[in-house]
Structure 1
């Protein structure tokens, strides 16, 4: 039996310089939806396209980029990467593939936070 009973939700917290600019970036580039800004606490939260998964942005003058790497499942990594690169999103090297398993591509938000796309290849024949 687990020590705690977890719910079926997760919030991935990242530090950013400007929460409002980050929200705009995630809306435009990834289609996420703003849930709320809590200005007194320096916190904003967004709903991702995955049920039960939200992104939280803590505003800091000197954010610590790269302390989390959320991985988002994608049906077509090549198309997603092409579209993001066309929108001036920076990637960290080429897409990596483990045949019959997964293809992954790491990219960065404006504050240098690493994010990853992953296409499940286990169902391909």
Structure 2
């Protein structure tokens, strides 16, 4: 039985220089639909052609190519994080919250690959 119960969503988070330019590229080239730009957080999100899978675009001055971070949706981030910490999963700092939007927590697999949990607070 898994330690954490994930919902049926995943966001693939990419670092990009300009979210608006990247969003246009993904729309024009791959047919993804813009869900929103959240300028205060430097974040945009797009619906891919796969149900339950979105593409998140995080703006950075110097993005690192190949740094995709899978973001797994959970119903209760505190509960999920506690369950993973109980089995010695390493987290990168505290859970971060943007009120009314999302709470996220970055953690690592045994090879140091970054993964993230996210609880949608907009519902």
With the shorter chain as reference, the TM-score category is 0.5 to 0.7
How far off its partner does 1:39 sit?
0.3
For residue 25 of structure 1, give the secondary structure of its aligned residue in structure 2. Answer: helix
Structure 2 residue 36 is matched with structure 1 residue 36: yes
> Match of 1:55?
55
Give the TM-score, by structure 1 length.
Answer: 0.54
Question: What is the RMSD of the two structures over their aligned residues, measured on CA atoms?
Answer: 1.5
- Superposed CA offset, 1:4-62 (max 9, x none): 10011100000000000000000000000000111000000000000000000000000
Unaligned runs of 5+ in 2: 71-123
Structure 2 residue 65 is matched with structure 1 residue 65: yes
For residue 2 of structure 1, give the secondary structure of its aligned residue in structure 2. Answer: coil
Q: Do 2:14 and 2:69's aligned partners in 1 also have CA atoms closer than 8 Å? A: no
How far off its partner does 1:68 sit?
2.7
- Superposed CA offset, 1:47-91 (max 9, x none): 000000000000000001112399xxxxxxxxxxxxxxxxxxxxx
For residue 7 of structure 1, give the secondary structure of its aligned residue in structure 2. Answer: strand
Higher share of residues assigned strand: 2
For residue 64 of structure 1, give the secondary structure of its aligned residue in structure 2. Answer: coil
- Superposed CA offset, 1:92-123 (max 9, x none): xxxxxxxxxxxxxxxxxxxxxxxxxxxxxxxx
For residue 45 of structure 1, give the secondary structure of its aligned residue in structure 2. Answer: strand
For residue 7 of structure 2, give the secondary structure of its aligned residue in structure 1. Answer: coil
Query: What is the count of residue pairs matched by the alignment?
Result: 70
Q: Do 2:12 and 2:54's aligned partners in 1 also have CA atoms closer than 8 Å? A: yes
Query: Could you say if the C-alpha distance between residues 66 and 51 of structure 1 is closer, same or farther in structure 2, counting changes exceeding 3 Å?
Result: same
Distance 1:36 1:69 in 2: 19
